[in-house]
Structure 1
Amino acid sequence: MRIRNKPWAMDYLKDNGHIVDTEMTYKNKVKNFFDTDQPLHIEVGTGMGTFITKLAADNPNINYLGIELDKNVIIRVVEKIIELDLKNIRLALLDANFISDYLNDGEVSRIYLNFSDPWPKTRHARRRLTYHTFLKQYHHLLDEDGSLQFKTDNRGLFEYSLQSMNEYGMKFEDIRLDLHDDEPEDNIRTEYEEKFSRNGSRIYLLKASF
């Protein structure tokens, strides 16, 4: 899903600094970014924001932080937040490699990874969001009862992630080889999920903890 470059993107995001942090302003003090102190869930890679805004609307007692690197993509999420008047969701324009610098250890209750780039070439494995260096960051960020949820349509990435999490010593709470076969009522479909499902792709799910 290619997004056209918007020369005005950064100006727009800075004008909405109450929603999106573009300059690490809330590094190590994300609680101050929200109006209410309540459990924090994060999504690494927001896409167009359908998933995280639906979660935030359905769960006003939870704070949601969306991590996204592409300024042209994150604009769409800001627009949805404004349209829905959501108070419990904030965004950070941030490279996922640095989320453990931005957030404090143990302050996250759940992490969502939805349809991440599979980086299929072996030499790019370290870029996958389930590579062991990322798992180490998630381990530090999650509280004692925290969990990670991962969805993908890519079988190779799914198998790799199973192996990577297993080697790291994670505990699997749910593994689904076809999420849309007897789909759970609480499943929220992302934009990519809808697209891939319409094209006949199988959707894989992992839920795990440390």
Structure 2
Amino acid sequence: MGKAGTGSVQFFVVNPTQNKGKWREVFGNSNEIWLELGCGKGGFISKLASSRPDINFIAVDIKDEVLVLAMQKIEKEYGLINADTRNIRLMAHEIMLINKMLDENDAISRIYINFCNPWPKNSHKARRLTHPNQLNQYKTFLVPNGQIWFKTDDETLFQDSIRYFEQCGFHIGYLTEDLHASGFEQNIETEHERMFIEQGCKIKFLIAEKR
């Protein structure tokens, strides 16, 4: 992975596990930290992070080939508004082992999970990013009343995830099975979302709070 960053920082993190418990030091301020799990090509996180310089962002994916595209989109988006990249860090890491790079000292305020793999086979469901195995990991570094924003086109995954969140003690404060007809004003479309909308799919969305 080559160097990246149009502004004052190198925003690609090569060894994220070295920053476990120290992400506030990495950013150098006390701003909230929001996390995207499975950032893909970076269309979502580049728009969100560049529009919120008051928030720090961590974006994670396992695939180097898509992270190259994410780096390019981040640089382009920040360049359009003449900003630097000090509030975002991008990295490759296995999300199933997210507790290797984050702990309670990192105090994540919000997690985004957008269109993750639905893993429809029963033998594979434990790999879902909303499975209790994962939710219980997130709870270790998500602050009290911290939120998880979850979007999917998959009905079965959505209904199963509602049950997962409730099973793990989360409170679902907002839920819609048709995001684009709901009037929710804070949505930023992802690449997958646009594709699904063009195919006539309804987007399911919820916000779950840690209690």
Structures share a fold, TM > 0.5? yes
1:72 to 49, 65, 84: 65
Corresponding position of 2:135: 135
| Corresponding position: 1:151 with 2:143 | no
| Corresponding position: 1:23 with 2:22 | no
Following superposition, the deviation at residue 168 of structure 1 comes to 1.6
CA RMSD between the two structures = 1.5
- Supply the AA of the counterpart residue of 1:20: F
Q: Identify unmatched segments of 5+ residues in structure 2.
A: 79-83
- Supply the AA of the counterpart residue of 2:15: E
Distance (Å, rounded) in 1 between the aligned partners of 2:85 and 2:11: 10
Distance (Å, rounded) in 2 between the aligned partners of 1:156 and 1:22: 36
Corresponding position of 1:60: 53
Corresponding residue pairs, total = 198
Corresponding position of 1:82: 75
| Corresponding position: 1:37 with 2:30 | yes
- Supply the AA of the counterpart residue of 1:43: E
Q: Residues 92-103 of structure 1 correspond to what in structure 2 (within 5 A)? A: 92-103=91-102
User: What percent identity do the matched residue pairs reach?
Assistant: 34
What SS is found at the alignment partner of 2:159?
Answer: helix
Greater displacement, 94-103 / 191-200: 94-103
- Is the 1:41–1:108 Cα contact (8 Å) retained in structure 2? yes
- Is the 2:44–2:189 Cα contact (8 Å) retained in structure 1? yes
Distance (Å, rounded) in 2 between the aligned partners of 1:177 and 1:69: 28
1:189 to 1:204, Cα distance in 2 relative to 1, 3 A = same
- Is the 1:174–1:208 Cα contact (8 Å) retained in structure 2? yes
1:91-148 per-residue CA deviation (whole Å, 9 max, x = no partner) reads: 1210011212211215100000000000010100110011111010111111112111
1:60 to 1:184, Cα distance in 2 relative to 1, 3 A = same
Corresponding position of 2:160: 160
Distance (Å, rounded) in 2 between the aligned partners of 1:151 and 1:166: 17
Distance (Å, rounded) in 2 between the aligned partners of 1:99 and 1:32: 19
Following superposition, the deviation at residue 38 of structure 1 comes to 1.1
Greater displacement, 96-105 / 20-29: 20-29
What SS is found at the alignment partner of 2:19?
Answer: coil
Corresponding position of 1:91: 90
- Is the 2:34–2:111 Cα contact (8 Å) retained in structure 1? yes
Following superposition, the deviation at residue 35 of structure 1 comes to 4.6
Distance (Å, rounded) in 2 between the aligned partners of 1:133 and 1:189: 27
State the 4+ residue runs in structure 1 displaced beyond 3 angstroms: none
- Is the 1:35–1:88 Cα contact (8 Å) retained in structure 2? no
Corresponding position of 2:182: 182
- Is the 1:35–1:87 Cα contact (8 Å) retained in structure 2? no
